[in-house]
Structure 1
Amino acid sequence: MNVGFIGTGNMGRTLVEAFIRSGKLKPSDIIINNRTRSKADRLAETHPGLRIADNSRELVRETPLFFLCIKPGEFRPVLDEIRETVRSEQIAVSITSPVMIRDLEEWLPAKVAKIIPSINHAVLAGNSLFVPGNRLTADDQQMLWNLFSAISQPLRIEEEHTRIASDLASCSPAFFAQLLESLANTAVKETGIPQSSALSLVNQMTQGLARLLAEGGFTLQSLQERVAVPGGITREGLDLLNKEVSPVFHELIQLTHAKYDHDVKKVKHSLGHTAKKNM
């Protein structure tokens, strides 16, 4: 089965390479198109056999399943381009959280789903967030679930929880990478430990933490309890983090939701205005 990817930016490329790495798709199964042709060329050079469509319409004509791996502001021109080419038996998957399934179903005759990926898929890990549209059959849903099971652990969510689930599954790797980098850099400034040593310690700790949670039988809570003995240094550190860092996460979630609401309104205005003109 040919699978198309409209958009080969950071996440589009991650998906393409994850599916190839997992063996679920061969390069020859994949057709891509990108607004900046050079990005598509580089991806095709890395994976011989991968095909590049000259435009999005050509890609849609040749694929029963295609992914919209584009930014919210790019949906209107892309949908304008492909809507007359899309067929009712096709499946269109958006990976962009602020674009609502109902709006896509008004624009396209295809069966629609929203699946939010994560950078973790690059190592065939993490959750993919699965929101099926109303037209998907049970077989369609199973096919998509099986596809993403090769690169992730799919998790079905309600569309109203897309933002918070994305914060936890998709944004958190960057959030925690920054926190860990800050921890290492602060250690360097406060103690003079070589930066290479500090970063190595943090990286190895992170890998071990992941294994403890995945293979060691620990939960987040039980791990804290095991390390933080009463009256010890770790307990004092945890008390400080609970006091000073926890409020930051409240602000973080409020910020991401405010940005999400803003993007949803912008997309709805763009798509809703054009959809009414074409009804």
Structure 2
Amino acid sequence: MKIGFIGAGNMGGAILKGYAPFAERNGDKIFVYDKKEEVRSGLEEAFPAVTACGRETELVEKSDIVILGVKPNLFETLLPEIADVCTTDQLIISMAAGIRISLIEGYLGADKKIIRIMPNTPAQVGEAMTAICRNGNVGEDDFGHALAIFNSIGRAMEVEESLLHCVIGVSGSSPAYTYMYIEALIKAAQANGMEASKARVFAAQAVLGAAKMVLESDLSAEQLRINVCSPGGTTIEAVNCLFENGFEEKVQEGFQAAVDKSKSMTK
């Protein structure tokens, strides 16, 4: 497969870097265009499977799958530029928050195969969570190619487009909330005498292990939490303190703020 990335910033770059080793093993070719020449050349030098392109249209003409990684406010400029070189055989994948499939169809044509995704930045370490939705032109074979790309950098699941606002709250933006939690643990450990480098590892590994247990256990997250809390022990003391201070409610409020912002941005 020939896979093109238009835009290689935080998210597009994370997906490209995560997928590049798989592409090399699989014999896929990756094309990249970014407005910053140093980004293009840097990716070309770093990954044997990557070839830089000088224009967006050049990339589209060379690619079987085109992944649009530019910011949402650039779509109304980008889509008319590439419309004439997009074909009905290609798969167009957008990761822009707030840009509906119907808007992309309006520029590229209702006959085009269009997928919309909502990934997150852990793609760069092979642990992304990506939501995928598609229009009616995308058959199972094409959808299978998209799933293969995003499953190679973590996990991918199909959802209805109407759920992408929710996805932003639960996985698209939530790494930032998790970093805040880890940062708070690190600061608390330092305040109790642990050096920052060790606190970083202790806190991050604890979060990684807890997340893995949620994914691999048949128990609910609630039951896993209960199982750790021995009566009269240290964990129940901490959990009760967090409950009393509205920990769950504050996380849910942050989640909802991301969802509401996504809805307000939608075109």
Q: Do these two structures clear the TM 0.5 threshold for a shared fold by scoring above it?
A: yes
Q: Is the 8 A contact 1:24 1:150 kept in 2?
A: no
Q: Return the TM-score normalized by structure 2.
A: 0.89
SS of the equivalent of 1:32 reads: strand
SS of the equivalent of 2:84 reads: coil
Segments ≥4 residues shifted beyond 3 Å = 23-28, 210-219
Q: Is the 8 A contact 1:69 1:96 kept in 2?
A: yes
5 Å-filtered alignment, 1:197-236, equals 197-215=198-216, 219-236=220-237
SS of the equivalent of 1:93 reads: strand
Using the TM superposition, give the Cα deviation of residue 85 of structure 1 relative to its aligned residue in structure 2, in angstroms.
1.6
Q: Is the 8 A contact 1:32 1:40 kept in 2?
A: yes
Amino acid aligned to 1:200? V
Q: Is the 8 A contact 2:5 2:33 kept in 1?
A: yes
Contiguous gaps of at least 5 residues in structure 2: none
Using the TM superposition, give the Cα deviation of residue 216 of structure 1 relative to its aligned residue in structure 2, in angstroms.
6.1
Give the fraction of aligned pairs with identical amino acids, expressed as a percent: 24
5 Å-filtered alignment, 1:89-128, equals 89-109=89-109, 110-128=112-130
Q: Residues of 2 paired with 1:73 and 1:256: CA distance? A: 18
Q: Is the 8 A contact 2:20 2:50 kept in 1?
A: no
Q: Is the 8 A contact 2:4 2:32 kept in 1?
A: yes
Q: Residues of 2 paired with 1:48 and 1:141: CA distance? A: 26
Using the TM superposition, give the Cα deviation of residue 183 of structure 1 relative to its aligned residue in structure 2, in angstroms.
1.9
Q: Residues of 1 paired with 2:194 and 2:62: CA distance? A: 56
2:16 alignment partner in structure 1: 16
SS of the equivalent of 1:88 reads: coil
Q: Deviations over 1:40-70 (max 9, x none)?
A: 1111111135211111011111112100011
Q: Deviations over 1:229-277 (max 9, x none)?
A: 123221122122223212212321232123212321xxx3xxxxxxxxx
SS of the equivalent of 2:153 reads: coil
Q: Residues of 2 paired with 1:176 and 1:31: CA distance? A: 32
5 Å-filtered alignment, 1:42-57, equals 42-57=42-57
Matched, 1:133 2:132: no
Greater shift after overlay, 82-91 or 205-214?
A: 205-214
Using the TM superposition, give the Cα deviation of residue 11 of structure 1 relative to its aligned residue in structure 2, in angstroms.
1.3
2:253 alignment partner in structure 1: 251
Q: Is the 8 A contact 1:20 1:26 kept in 2?
A: no
Q: Is the 8 A contact 2:91 2:114 kept in 1?
A: yes
Matched, 1:84 2:84: yes
Amino acid aligned to 1:55? R
Matched, 1:171 2:173: yes
Using the TM superposition, give the Cα deviation of residue 218 of structure 1 relative to its aligned residue in structure 2, in angstroms.
5.3
From 146, 156, 159, the counterpart of 2:158: 156
Using the TM superposition, give the Cα deviation of residue 103 of structure 1 relative to its aligned residue in structure 2, in angstroms.
0.8
Q: Is the 8 A contact 1:2 1:31 kept in 2?
A: yes
Q: Structure 1 residues 79, 61: CA separation in 2 closer, same or farther (over 3 Å shift)?
A: same
Amino acid aligned to 1:175? Y
Using the TM superposition, give the Cα deviation of residue 25 of structure 1 relative to its aligned residue in structure 2, in angstroms.
6.4
Amino acid aligned to 1:33? Y
Amino acid aligned to 1:45? E
Q: Structure 1 residues 44, 27: CA separation in 2 closer, same or farther (over 3 Å shift)?
A: farther
Q: Residues of 1 paired with 2:126 and 2:196: CA distance? A: 30
Q: Residues of 1 paired with 2:198 and 2:251: CA distance? A: 29
Q: Residues of 2 paired with 1:143 and 1:179: CA distance? A: 35
Q: Structure 1 residues 257, 208: CA separation in 2 closer, same or farther (over 3 Å shift)?
A: closer
Q: Structure 1 residues 24, 166: CA separation in 2 closer, same or farther (over 3 Å shift)?
A: farther
Contiguous gaps of at least 5 residues in structure 1: 269-279
Q: Residues of 2 paired with 1:204 and 1:137: CA distance? A: 40
Q: Is the 8 A contact 2:186 2:203 kept in 1?
A: yes
Q: Residues of 1 paired with 2:140 and 2:166: CA distance? A: 26
Using the TM superposition, give the Cα deviation of residue 134 of structure 1 relative to its aligned residue in structure 2, in angstroms.
2.0
Amino acid aligned to 1:188? Q
1:273 alignment partner in structure 2: none
Q: Is the 8 A contact 1:20 1:27 kept in 2?
A: no
Greater shift after overlay, 175-184 or 120-129?
A: 120-129
